[in-house]
Copies of this chain bind each other. A is one copy, B any other.
Amino acid sequence: MIKVSILGSGNVATHLYHAFAESNEVQLVEIYGRNPKNLIPFEKEVATCSRLEDLKETDVFLLAVKDDAIEELITKLEHPDAIIAHTSGSIPLSKSAQKNGVFYPLQTFSKDTPVDFNSIPLCLEASDKEIYSVLEKLALSISPKVFSISSQQRKSLHLSAVFVCNFVNHLYHIGEDLCAKNEVPFEILHALITETARKASLNSPKAVQTGPALRNDQKTIATHLERLNEEKYKEIYKLLTQSIQATYGTKL
């Protein structure tokens, strides 16, 4: 049994807590949160703690706190025997603790949407092999998708995630907005959204690009730009059309 304490009470902390609570190989020691109010949802199920000096002994502290708070929190933890691993995509492996690690679940978490950890990739990094093997055991207890990822690689993954998740969701929102303005149910686009995502997991997205930009269908592009009343949407349409055409060498 690996003893784990979770530091943090937000989305990532909550989802990790639920995943480990179901694992037979992990003993959850406690959940730490600076604000006792945020610990109320956990109190009935697990020990909680709101003062750093009261933290119990454990094998691994998992830090699921804001990026800006990570380094300070690590320096305040006086548990040299424990592994201290953060869960952030953009913060490098720390050098402040004796045993440093990273345990980064690459997924978009919402408070109210349950997630199946079995499909979530866990990106691990550690300051030595022994630490890595503990984190790997911990990771494999909740997901089969475990990857050894360096700080540099993790930064690239985090950046890529902004494109394929945050920016993609904004394009969904633009589609939703255009539908609303023209009194069409956005629901009609759900199947297309799902299928486009499914295709990207089966093929290289580069190989399955479709649409007027790729076909260099100037007539449709002109009609679309004319229909877009919002300047912001026009700019996005133009820039992404140009980028597709540059990628595939389509003549403008």
Interface residues of A (CB under 8 A from B): 67, 90, 106-108, 110, 113, 115, 119-121, 123, 145, 147, 149, 152-153, 155-157, 159-179, 181-202, 204-206, 208-214, 217, 220, 223-224, 227-228, 232, 235-237, 239-240, 242-244, 246-247
Contact = CB atoms under 8 A, between A and B. Distances in A.
A189 B164 contact: yes
Contacts of A199: 108, 110, 113, 169
A244 B170 contact: yes
A220 B176 CA distance: 28
Contact of A160 (B175, B198, B244): B175
A211 to B, nearest CB: 3
When all copies of this chain in the complex are counted, the total is 2
A145 to B, nearest CB: 7
A108 B182 contact: no
B166 A244 contact: yes
B161 A192 contact: yes
Contacts of A120: 191
